[in-house]
């Protein structure tokens, strides 16, 4: 999982992206989240990196156990 999503959580990351878009924050600004508040910073991640992390997360298939994703009639053999 992406470190940004891991740190913020998906719901908070999407909310932050929405706020950054609403306030027209440039893609190259570095953002830091301190005590739940975002601010421009010299460390952290860029708005573009946040958007990429969200997109990567949405594209990733998070399969915990393949047996949950196959037909019930298929036999799973562990080796």
What's the pLDDT at 14? 93
- Digit-by-digit pLDDT tens for the chain (79 residues) are 488 888 888 899 999 999 999 999 999 999 998 888 889 988 889 999 999 999 888 776 656 665 666 666 777 677 7
Cβ(29)–Cβ(40) below 8 Å: yes
Torsion of CA 57, 60, 63, 64, to 10 degrees: -30
What's the pLDDT at 43? 87
Angle between helices 47-59 and 10-22 (to 10 degrees): 140
What's the pLDDT at 49? 93
What's the pLDDT at 34? 87
Strands 45-46 and 37-40: unpaired
What's the pLDDT at 1? 47
Return d(Cα 79, Cα 77) in angstroms, integer: 6
């Amino acid at each position: 999982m992406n470190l940004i999503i891991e740190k913020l959580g998906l719901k908070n990351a999407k909310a932050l992206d929405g706020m950054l878009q609403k306030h027209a924050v440039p893609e190259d600004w570095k953002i830091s989240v301190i005590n739940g508040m975002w601010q421009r910073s010299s460390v952290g991640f860029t708005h573009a990196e946040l958007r990429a992390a969200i997109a990567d997360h949405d594209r990733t298939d998070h399969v915990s156990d393949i047996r949950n994703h196959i037909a019930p009639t298929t036999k799973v053999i562990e080796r």
